[in-house]
């Protein structure tokens, strides 16, 4: 059955990849984002001409174009809304925390207060983050773990989740929450650890490894995240949270070493240890057994396979990628 999806934050890595997944299933998709569409190399839904017919992009900013967004929802009457939009980047949130609270809390609350009035919305999927939990010291967390955010970014995301949960309880707003482990795959922004390491390995340069890279993470391919997000949109119970994660863990240092081995680069030539970031969580590991049990979901692309695929994307687009900014650029 063909459904109408509205994807908010469509220029994000996760949003753009999820749009590709929806289009491959034959759904109609409208994507909105505050910036114009980036280079095609970062938009998986543009990698095949067969997918273009059922997609429309509209440039709208959640902070300044709420009226136009609601007009769009009124006109299009989407069945499902999936919201990837958020002011990201953990370390940078300490510099101007009010920007993170404005985008991730105030503007989101205004949006939801309008969306709750629409009867057409079967499910509102809110893409949250495990950063809301804070550091967990190696413990695998279930969805009912208490929030203990340690950065302005994490605080803003936890606050929005609590607000949405109150709307579910008060108004029956059909929200479901997802929290995914560290996502990766072809098309990811160059300031993220995996493409950044690969690009530096190919072009030369030093990778700053904060705190020596000893924090532990679980990485999951965006194709697997997309399939899980879709199942949650279609089958998830309103008011519920679902973790999306593999059951494998790796330190950032070991991850970089693995990429060095793949690219025939000496670790000591690539890496420079630096001080750890303020408020950085040493680990957050998500127990995804609820998702697996309820919907029969499984992750299919392991870390090594995903790294090889991502390196192939880097190599294929090396000339283009080397000409693009590789640092995070803050926007408000």
Q: What is the mean pLDDT of the chain?
A: 95
> Cα 10 to the chain's mean position, in Å?
11
Q: How confident is the model at residue 4 (pLDDT cuts 50, 70, 90)?
A: very high
CA dihedral 208, 211, 214, 217 (to 10 degrees): -70
pLDDT in tens, 235-282: 999 999 999 999 999 999 999 999 999 999 999 999 998 887 776 667
Average pLDDT over residues 106-112: 98
What integer pLDDT is reported at residue 42 of this predicted model?
Answer: 98
Task: Specify the pLDDT at position 127.
Answer: 98
Residue 330 banded pLDDT, cuts 50, 70, 90: low
CB burial string 213-238: b at 16+ within 10 A, e below:
bebbbbbbbbbbbbbbbbbbbeebee
Residue 139 banded pLDDT, cuts 50, 70, 90: confident
Alpha carbon of residue 329 to chain centroid: 17
Alpha-carbon span 246 to 38, nearest angstrom:
29
Percent of the chain whose pLDDT exceeds 70 = 97
Sorting pLDDT into bands at 50, 70 and 90, what band is 165? very high
134-143, 166-175, 181-190: lowest mean pLDDT where?
Answer: 134-143
Rg of the chain's alpha carbons, rounded to an integer? Answer: 19
Give start-end residues of each CATH 3.40.50.720 domain in the chain: 4-183+219-244
- pLDDT band of residue 89 (cuts 50, 70, 90) is confident
CATH 3.90.25.10 residue ranges for the chain: 190-216+249-282+303-322
Superfamily of domain 4-183+219-244: NAD(P)-binding Rossmann-like Domain (3.40.50.720)
Cβ atoms of residues 8 and 85 within 8 Å:
yes
- Containing H/E element for 295? helix 289-295
* pLDDT tens digit sequence for 236-249: 999 999 999 999 99
Q: b or e along 72-86 (b: 16 or more beta carbons within 10 Å of the residue's beta carbon)?
A: bbeebebbbbbbbbb
| Phi and psi, residue 242, nearest 5° | -130, 130
Average the pLDDT over 147-168 and give the result.
96
Burial class (CB in 10 A: 0-12, 13-18, 19+), 160: buried
Q: Does domain 190-216+249-282+303-322 have CATH number 3.30.420.60?
A: no
CB 153 within 8 Å of CB 89: yes
CA distances from 266 to 204, 253, 263, 271, 291 (A): 11, 13, 9, 9, 39
Please report the pLDDT score of residue 305 as a whole number: 98
Contact predicate 284/130, CB 8 Å: yes
């Amino acid at each position: 059955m063909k459904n109408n999806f509205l994807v908010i934050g469509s220029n994000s890595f996760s949003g753009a990849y999820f749009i590709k997944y929806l289009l491959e299933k034959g759904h109609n998709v409208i994507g909105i984002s505050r910036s114009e569409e980036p280079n095609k190399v970062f938009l998986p839904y543009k990698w095949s001409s067969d997918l273009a017919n059922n997609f429309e992009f509209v440039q709208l900013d959640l902070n300044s174009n709420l009226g136009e967004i609601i007009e769009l929802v009124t006109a299009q009457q989407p069945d499902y809304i999936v919201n990837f939009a958020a002011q990201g980047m953990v370390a940078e949130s300490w510099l101007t925390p009010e920007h993170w609270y404005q985008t991730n809390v105030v503007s989101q609350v205004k949006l939801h207060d309008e969306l709750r009035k629409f009867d057409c919305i079967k499910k509102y999927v809110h893409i949250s983050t495990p950063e809301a939990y804070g550091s967990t010291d190696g413990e695998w967390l279930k969805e009912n773990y208490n929030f203990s955010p340690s950065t302005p970014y994490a605080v803003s995301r936890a606050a929005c989740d609590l607000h949405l949960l109150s709307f579910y309880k008060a108004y029956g707003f059909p929200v479901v929450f997802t929290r995914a482990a560290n996502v990766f795959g072809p098309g990811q922004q160059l300031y993220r650890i995996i493409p950044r390491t690969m690009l530096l390995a190919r072009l030369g340069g030093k990778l700053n490894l904060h705190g020596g890279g000893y924090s532990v993470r679980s990485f999951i391919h965006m194709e697997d995240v997309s399939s899980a997000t879709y199942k949650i949109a279609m089958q998830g119970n309103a008011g519920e949270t679902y973790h999306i994660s593999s059951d494998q863990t790796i330190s950032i240092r070991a991850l970089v070493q693995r990429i060095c081995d793949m690219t025939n680069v000496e670790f000591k030539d690539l890496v420079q240890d630096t001080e750890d970031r303020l408020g950085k969580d040493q680990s957050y590991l998500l127990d995804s057994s609820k998702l697996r049990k309820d919907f029969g979901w499984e992750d299919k692309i392991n870390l090594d396979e995903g790294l090889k695929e991502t390196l192939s994307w880097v190599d294929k687009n090396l000339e283009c990628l080397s000409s693009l900014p590789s640092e995070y650029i803050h926007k408000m």
